[in-house]
Structure 1
Amino acid sequence: MADSNRRLLTAAHTAAGIRQRFVDYFVARGHTHVPSSSLVPQDDPTLLFVNAGMNQFKDVFTGREQRPYSRAVTVQRCVRAGGKHNDLDNVGFTPRHQTLFEMLGNFSFGDYFKREAIEWAWKFLTEDLGLPSERLVVTIYDGQGEDAPPDEEAAELWAAYVPRGRIYRCSAKDNFWQMGDTGPCGPCSEIHIYKGDVAPATAAEPGTGPAYADSDFVELWNLVFMQYEKPGDGTMRPLPKPSIDTGSGLERVAAAVLGAGSNYETDLLSPMVEEAKRLAGDSVPSGVGEAPFRVIADHARATAFLVADGVFPDKGGRNYVLRRIMRRAIRHGADVGLAEPFMHEVCRKVIEVFGDVYPELHERAAVIEEVVRGEEESFRRTLDRGLRRLRKSIDKHESGRPSFDPAVAADLYNTYGFPIDLTAVILREHGLSLDEKAAEAELKAQQGEGGGRGSDLGAGEAVADVYFEVHGEVGDTEFLGYASEEARGVVTAIVVDGASVERAEAGQAVELVLDRTPFYAESGGQVGDTGLAFHTEPSAKGGATVKVEIEDTLKPRAGMHVHRGRVLHGEVRVGTTLTLQVDRARRQAIRRNHSATHLLHHALRAELGEHVVQKGSLVSPERLRFDFSHNRAITVEQRRALEQRVNAMVLSNTASVTKELSMLEAKAEGAIGLFGEKYGERVRVVRLADDSVELCGGTHVERAGDIGLFSIVGESSIAQGVRRIEAVTGEGALAYVQSLAEVTAEASAQLHAGSPQELPERIGRLQAELKQRDREIATLKQKLATGGGTATDEVTEVEGIKLLTRRLSGTDVKTLRSAADALRDRLGSGVVVLAAETDGKATLLVAITKDLQARVHAGKLVGELARHVDGRGGGRPDLAQAGGPKLTGLDEALGAAEPALRALLGAA
């Protein structure tokens, strides 16, 4: 393409335009446009996030899934952060690193192969987008590093477009792709653009080019030629139907086409950069460059997309990666003077820029705002305290030893929500290093129990220093509550008023830590147990010598149970052995509700679809609350079906089964949960009523029939795309049903209905009668308002214009307006001023006939009169209203109407 044409194309195009041109180009060549999948991989626990366009076609390439097409084109949102892609430090500080990016891809499933893939990629870049062919180079596989020959076929095909001297040969490290240790694989060929001052020579210079990570070369497109099958023995076997998998980063292509110096200067990121700068305003300290704003822009984009796809910031797996991304951006925001929460506003810009292409951003805008604002507010509350704690640890660090203790870094995350990589960044600023892998391993060990189902409580909330210190001294609490509701334990720590003490006396509020306990600590949405703790000396007469009422049980540190209560009598000391008794009736009620949440979850997925995912829960003795992903209200029919399905499982009275399994075994049994690092090597799997299988650390009924009865009491929306169901079980459900029966019986009696089934008809008839009476009352009010004159009813002439003033009583604004219209019509030509008390306030209304609107403006006249009632108002030239608190000023306002009108006419 000529330079002049290319300049026109560049000037006219945006990154959004390039995205669409790519799709159109391949659709025109027989490809089916497949929408981007979610960032959360489906049925692939090996991935944190979708990180390539081919992820959603993995089973197609392996032959396990068939699609109705053999060619596909996608624009796939991808995230590369966490796991092996742990290079967050580079994001914002290099031109081309992003956490989230859009991958353009075209795919062939046993259809076309190298010739078409090479031709179409080259022509799209050079002819359709107008990139200069003299600056493009390609790479091919050289036969080194894998049991496969050099890709001479690709070299010959490329020679039709590129001088042979610009075809670089690279080893398997750079130019051989494989899905895993075994399975489909093959050589790949990359297209790079040279960004140096002059075009690359036709003959490659030794030691230069893409294989040497030469910064002048930017990869634009990777073409994977999937032509081999790699079995367990490592040998290569040709695939009967070779396939094509390509990937091209939209950001890099856009930067090349638009002549941008970096990806951040394209319209994919620059709006967020500018929004961050706008929010910072004049508060930016001197010397701050572009990098912090680029960090904020990139991380806000990733955040909005991840939350829209159901990832919420939390302590494990992909949730932990999102938290790290967000908190890195928040820290950089603080560095540029953003003292108030700002991330949700930059995310709002992301929705504005990308919402038309990815409509789920618009659909879940409320969720994005709520989650992002809450996370930032939470982190800002702990940021200063966490920094102080880290500085203390740095000050205590042994001089001469450059590495920092990984356990302390893990504790900083658990206590203050400090992501480990953020701790590493701060440590580097102090000349210290951190083994991040060791810190991650320590974090997994601390969180390894994997007990809960996902709490409503904000994960990562600040933990008081005292718990951090106590846990460091006494360690974990052994939990005995699955098998027993009574046990004996030794007091290992006592906390009173936020301080660790050796003893506590009668009347004091205390928090007790014991070496073992049957009390369940609040987690996973299940509330903590209550009950009694006591000690009796063998020689004592008259009962327990120490008695503590346990009002709640918490887990401020993973593995450590804290019993919160009050000493009723005696003195409790560290080292005292206490008998612990859980409130059995309350525990049983909690078990019923917790098991019902599992059955409800199963029923929701069966009735509404597999898209239903738990977003939070609360399990208390009185009720259960279950939040789940769904974007429509539950219909009456669906609610009935849910109740029927759950109660059918209850009536089956199947025995509950609990197992300790490996993650692979749990998955094989179909258990639902966040399969990942959060749960550790062994997990607890609970099977209820045969159909519900979930990972869970809570307490449950022995048989499904123990739930008794399940009844939904409410369903609502708590955010865009998130619904909430509230329900009751057992005695609570019976009480609810009985209360409904009593209400319907009372209503039936009052409405003289023969049976509750007649109520809807009777209520409908009553509502119709009330509406008819309302209309009659409104008509009568208008007649009264526009009827005969009163002492305050006066028609005068001002400069030849008739002026009617009237004080009305017992009316409302609607009637007042109707009266003004009627009186204005009755005058034919003139001005109407009405005054009335409405809802305890003074109200004035001015109406002007059409022929006088050029001389008198109703809004100006009512504005003059409003000061008599200590108010203000305005409106259209023909009708205007004012209000104020001063009721005694209504008559004054009517009296002032004539001079005010005269003044306006004089001014006109």
Structure 2
Amino acid sequence: MTSNEIRQSFFDFFESKQHTIVKSGSLLPDAPNLLFTNAGMNQFVPIFLGQANCPYTPGRAADTQKCIRAGGKHNDLDDVGLDTYHHTFFEMLGNWSFGDYFKKEAIDWSWELITQVWGFPAERVYATYFGGDDISEADLEAKELWLRHLPAERVVPGNRKDNFWMMGDTGPCGPCSELHVDLTPNGDCGAGMVNADSADCIEIWNLVFMQFNANVDGSFAPLPAQHVDTGMGFERACSIIQCTQNFTDFSGVISNYETDVFTPIFNALAEMSGKQYTSTLPADPAKQTEQEAIDVAFRVIADHIRCLSFSIADGIIPSNEGRGYVLRRILRRAVRYGRTLGFTQPFFFKLADTVVESFGGAFPELVKNHARVSKTLKAEEESFNRTLDKGMDVFDAILGSTKSKTIDGADVFKLYDTYGFPYDLTELMAREQGMRIDEDGFERLMNAQREKARADHASKKSVVLAEDGGFDADATPFAGYETTQLETEVLDVIDGTTVILKQTPFYPESGGQQGDHGTLKADGVEFRVTDTQKTADGVILHTGEPVSGELKKGAAVTANVCRGRRDKIRRNHTSTHLLNAALREVVDSSVKQAGSMVASDYLRFDFNYFEAVKPEQLREIERLVNKQILKNTEVATAEMSLADVQKADDIQAVFDDKYGETVRVVGIGDFSKELCGGVHVSTTGQIGQFRIVSESSVAAGIRRIEAVTGLAAFEWAAEEHDLLVGLSKNLSVKPADLPERIKTMADQAKAAEKQLKEMQTKAAVSNIDGLVDKVEKAGDVQVLASDLGEMSMDALRQVLDGLRQKIGSAVIVVGSCNDGKACLAASISDDLVAKGIHAGKLIGQIAKICNGGGGGKPDKAQAGGKDGSKVGEAIQAVAGIVEQMNG
């Protein structure tokens, strides 16, 4: 059976048992404490906890759940590639009972599927059950049910670790039974190999019987309803069925990677790289043979492209925080392993096509989001390639100067801090060399950098802390949602510059919104507030300077927020919400906020995206936001429980953040709903108008939009108008004709540039006879290597083709500089190719001199480099390299 047939047969079987076939949940989990969906049960937790009613009749379901275990508690990342079964991404087949059937049906159906439908040899199957301990009794019911199918010697008791499942320290729990399969050639592993972490006897299916509730005091009480939760590793099932040729031959390699789950990716990778996968496993990761290293790279890259493709399709974008950072690490790890296969240019993103083709039928979200996946991967890969090239050069230099088996923490920090080279890649590369890194030394330098950053940040704040670092005050009640003026009392004054109030209308800087300014007034006393901050304990600090008199502790004051500044901030903050919603509607529904700044004069919004937002998209975003402004929609706020927010699918929230049990939701009609503690206009009409002033990149995968509102938007439009009118006068055309006029000028410039290149090419081609006279000998091989000065790659290729026609047996290499970058091209005559001189390998070596790379066929190749000034040096190296190749 193919993998698609195996998956479908699982569905068909349980559909015949009255199960509803449920779509896989997203890899982006609802639970705030999870980085990724990591188990089949994640989407059903609300049903198990009684927070949601079971929607299926009868209460049965089956599915295949996309899972990632590459961060947090469940992390298999470092093991991927080194064995036959570890993955960052995998599918979990499962069947579920929500208060419906229980142990008998679950056990009988699992036995029926694997032995009667799929044909697993019954004599190779073992079952486990919970054998009991001093906390809980043995699950003898499950044991007796298994004895109806298996002899006693293959029904094995297990301990609490292996055979008792708990959702957490408290909550639903219960015993579980596992099915294990004997994969030894003769089928004689014996019960002692069960749960012994041996590849000769592996677990394939786990049946969890939820029948207890774990209480805080450690006791267990029966649940009102009993549930079944099962999970089968899809890739493992495929490996056993396919690698044994439907159970007829257990003598070969049984590996998840030897199935059609992975072979299409391997085939694409082999075609791209020219390398072949041979199934070897390294006995020692630090002493890999060349072929072992190639096979590890195949497995890593194939695993990682599945993980990244499925994640991005579900809207999780590589970034510098949280789950996005985990994905970025995985992608960079794959690109690094690509170097083992000879890739120096972006290659990883191309494999997404194969993933979509292989899995798109079962997971239509891959097909729907194919373009997003490919573009995101390509942008990330291109960005990291620049870092990787330099980082690997520096790493090699460090390795060459290191006498011990430990790489100094200062060197690791230098790679990270100066060259942006990820710590985990340095650790991986060191491990491959049989070395370790000075982790403690690295952490000391990192902590020193963090402390310096915190000190620098603190120095910019005009906040004077008490000597003990805290304040003898409770959290300050904030009343600024209802009013901007308040009669209150001074609780404390610190150094005459920082005031703590009993209650305040001043909004403290938070969530990207700047703190309020204003005044504190009493009889004959005025204090100007120029910044408002909040401590970790919730104390709001009003920082500024006295204007007249001196504020005293206990004084009654009138707190006045600057209304004009607050109104500008309110307009900008509500516009930020509108912008966020419009971005998701126009650009991509997976767009996620990555930071913001709400000031009085402008707003700034950072978001995860892989490429620049197109001008027409920016105009459409502006149009949508201004349309909402013109509707004068009410901006409503409501307090909600975090649990209710997590159930809702229309509220934007960053669940990586920490929230309390109750949160504030800001809603703008049906257009936008977000968690937000900031201040807002009461209706969108108060914003006036909205204009985007810039869109740019601020980091890899992070874009930034800056915008203005109200009068500032009007002034921006007026300046644009004045610029347009001035430009039209200078070019003597009407404003409406400017686009056509500018296009004409651009076309003329392109035509002139094209004409210049054509002249350069003609001049170079006309000088071919002169170049032929420069042929020299490198041993017994004719070599022509020449630096042709300023010339495009197209012109360089034409010269090369002309030289090939003029010269018989020879190695020909020509180079040029184009816009500061190196261009290199090589040709080898057939007789010299037969002697082992390879154009692709030759060009790759000399391209390194120009800080570049490339390759090609044995007889013809080209390459590029970042440093055009090194072309002459590269050309001079040709003869020596040819002599080495010629032996």
TM-score by length of 1: 0.55
- Partner secondary structure for residue 37 of structure 2: coil
- Distance in 2, Cα, partners of 1:731 & 1:223: 65
CA 1:595–1:48: 2 relative to 1, 3 Å: same
The match for 2:270 is 277
What residue in structure 2 maps to residue 59 of structure 1?
Answer: 46
**Deviation larger for 347-356 or 286-295:** 286-295
CA contact (8 A) 1:603 1:646 kept: no
- Using the aligned pairs only, state the percent identity: 39
1:121 to 99, 110, 115: 110
Pair 1:112-2:96 in alignment: no
User: Corresponding residue for 2:344?
Assistant: 339
Query: How many angstroms apart in 2 are the aligned matches of 1:675 and 1:638?
Result: 25
User: Cα deviation per residue 1:223-280 (whole Å; 9 max; x = unaligned)?
Assistant: 0011110011111111121100000011000111112521111111111111111110
Conserved? CA contact 2:630–2:684, under 8 Å: no
**Which structure 2 residues correspond to residues 573-652 of structure 1 after superposition, within 5 A?**
593=572, 596-601=575-580, 613-614=591-592, 643=626
Q: Show the counterpart of 2:326.
A: 321
Task: Quote how far apart the aligned CAs of 1:17 are.
Answer: 0.6
Q: Secondary structure at the match of 1:189?
A: strand
What does residue 296 of structure 2 align with? 291
Distance 2:237 2:13 in 1: 15
- 1:36 corresponds to 2:36: no
**Partners in 2 of 1:57 and 1:367 — Cα distance?**
29
Shift of 1:412: 4.5
Q: Tell me by how many angstroms 1:310 deviates.
A: 1.4
> Aligned residue for 2:37?
50
Using the alignment, how far apart are the partners of 2:608 and 2:320 within structure 1? 19
* Partner Cα separation in structure 2 for residue 723 and residue 373 of structure 1: 16
1:871 maps to which residue?
Answer: none
Pairing partner for 1:730 from 710, 713, 721: 710
How far, CA to CA, are the matches of 2:65 and 2:144 in structure 1? 31
1:583-642 CA distance string (max 9 Å, x none): xx999989964652135436889x99x97753668979788778699x9x99x9999886
Aligned residue for 1:190, secondary structure, equals: strand
Residue 263 (structure 1) aligned with residue 251 (structure 2): no
Q: Which amino acid aligns with 2:41?
A: M
The aligned counterpart of 2:90 is 101
Taking structure 1 as reference, are residues 300 and 594 closer, same or farther at Cα in structure 2, changes over 3 Å only?
same
Which secondary structure state, in structure 1, belongs to the residue aligned with residue 367 of structure 2?
helix
CA positional deviation for 1:89 = 2.4
Aligned equivalent of 1:858: none
1:300 is aligned, of 302, 305, 329, to: 305
CA contact (8 A) 1:617 1:626 kept: yes
Structure 1 residue 197 corresponds to structure 2 residue 175? no
Q: 2:356 aligns with which of 327, 340, 351?
A: 351
Q: Is the 8 A contact 1:624 1:726 kept in 2?
A: yes
Give the Cα–Cα distance (whole angstroms) in 2 for the partners of residues 59 and 167 of structure 1.
33
Residues 804-848 of structure 1, C-alpha deviations (whole Å, 9 max, x = no match):
xxxxxxxxxxxxxxxxxxxxxxxxxxxxxxxxxxxxxxxxxxxxx
Equivalent-residue separation in structure 1 for 2:310 and 2:607 (angstroms): 20
Question: Partner letter of residue 167 of structure 1?
Answer: V
State the Cα distance separating 1:50 from its structure 2 match: 0.4
Give the direction of change, closer, same or farther, for the CA distance of 1:342–1:623 in structure 2 (3 Å limit).
same
Q: 1:458-537 alignment to 2 at 5 Å?
A: 476-478=456-458, 480=460
Task: Using the TM superposition, name which of 733-742 and 336-345 deviates more.
Answer: 733-742
- Gaps (5+ residues) in structure 1? 1-12, 449-470, 485-522, 528-584, 658-662, 743-908
Residues 141-160 of structure 1 deviation map (CA, whole Å, 9 limit, x = unaligned): 11137x22111100100011
CA shift for structure 1 position 290: 1.8
**Change in 2 beyond 3 A, CA 1:396/1:324:** same
Give the partner amino acid of 1:212.
A
Return closer, same or farther for 1:417/1:725 CA change in 2, 3 Å cut-off: closer
Q: How does 1:57-456 map to 2 (within 5 A)?
A: 57-69=44-56, 70-144=59-133, 147-200=135-188, 204=191, 208-259=192-243, 261-281=254-274, 287=291, 288-390=293-395, 405=409, 412-413=415-416, 416-434=419-437
Q: How has the CA–CA distance of structure 1 residues 601 and 46 changed in structure 2, closer, same or farther, with 3 Å as cutoff?
A: same
Instruction: Measure how far apart 1:175 and its partner are.
Output: 0.9
What is the CA–CA distance in structure 1 between the aligned matches of 2:440 and 2:99, rounded to whole Å?
A: 41
Q: Distance in 2 between matches of 1:392 and 1:475?
A: 34
Report if the CA contact (8 A) 1:711-1:729 is conserved. yes
Q: How far 1:215 moved relative to its partner? A: 2.5
Query: Larger C-alpha radius of gyration, 1 or 2?
Result: 1
Contact 2:204/2:236, CA 8 A, preserved across alignment: yes
Spell out, residue by residue over 1:455-504, the C-alpha distance to the aligned partner (whole angstroms, 9 max, x if none).
xxxxxxxxxxxxxxxx79x96343647999xxxxxxxxxxxxxxxxxxxx
SS at match of 1:101: strand
SS in 2 for 1:345: helix
TM-score where L is the length of structure 2? 0.56
TM-superposition CA deviations, 1:363-421 (whole Å, max 9, x none): 11111111111111111101132234556666787x7795864x875775565454433
Rounded to whole Å, the distance in 1 between the matches of 2:363 and 2:710 is 44
In structure 2, the CA distance between the partners of 1:180 and 1:431, relative to structure 1 (3 Å rule), is: same
Cα distance between partner residues in 1 of 2:105 and 2:405: 58
Distance between the aligned counterparts of 2:448 and 2:108, measured in 1? Answer: 52
Tell me how far 1:646 sits from its aligned partner. 5.2
Contact 1:33 1:74 (C-alpha < 8 Å) held by counterparts = yes
CA distance in 2, matches of 1:243, 1:31: 14
How many Å apart are 1:317 and its aligned residue? Answer: 1.3
For residues 520-554 of structure 1, give each alpha carbon's deviation from its aligned partner in whole angstroms, at most 9, with x where no partner exists: xxx99999xxxxxxxxxxxxxxxxxxxxxxxxxxx
3-state DSSP class of the match of 2:74?
coil
Q: Aligned pair in 2 of structure 1 residues 375, 628: CA closer, same or farther (>3 Å)?
A: closer
Residues 599 and 649, structure 1, Cα contact 8 Å, conserved in 2: no
Distance change in 2, residues 1:377/1:135 (3 Å): same
Shift of 1:73: 0.6
Do 1:596 and 1:707's aligned partners in 2 also have CA atoms closer than 8 Å? no
Deviation at 1:733, TM superposition (A): 3.9
- In 1: Cα distance, 2:196 partner to 2:104 partner: 27
**3-state SS of paired residue (1:478):** helix
Residue 224 of structure 1: SS of its match in structure 2?
strand
Structure 2 distance, partners of 1:310, 1:704, is: 31
- The amino acid that maps onto 2:117 is D
Report Cα offsets for 1:833-874 as digits up to 9, x if no partner: xxxxxxxxxxxxxxxxxxxxxxxxxxxxxxxxxxxxxxxxxx
1:725-874 to 2 correspondence within 5 Å? 728-734=708-714
Contact 1:712 1:725 in 2 (8 A): no
- Matched residues in 1 for 2:443 and 2:71: separation? 11
- C-alpha deviation, 1:348, in angstroms: 1.5
How many residues of Structure 1 are paired with residues of Structure 2 in the alignment?
584
Q: Any idea what the Cα deviations from partners look like across 1:157-202, whole Å, max 9, x if unmatched? A: 001111110111110111111111110001111111111121237x
Distance 1:734 1:294 in 2: 57
- 1:224–1:244 Cα contact (<8 Å) kept: yes
Runs (5+) with no aligned partner, structure 2: 245-253, 278-288, 465-509, 515-563, 723-887
Residue 191 of structure 1 aligns to a residue whose secondary structure is strand
Partners of 1:134 and 1:272 in 2: CA distance: 34
What letter matches 1:365 in structure 2? H
Q: Which AA in structure 1 matches 2:173?
A: C
Give 3-state SS (helix, strand or coil) of 1:425's partner: helix
Distance 2:275 2:602 in 1: 53
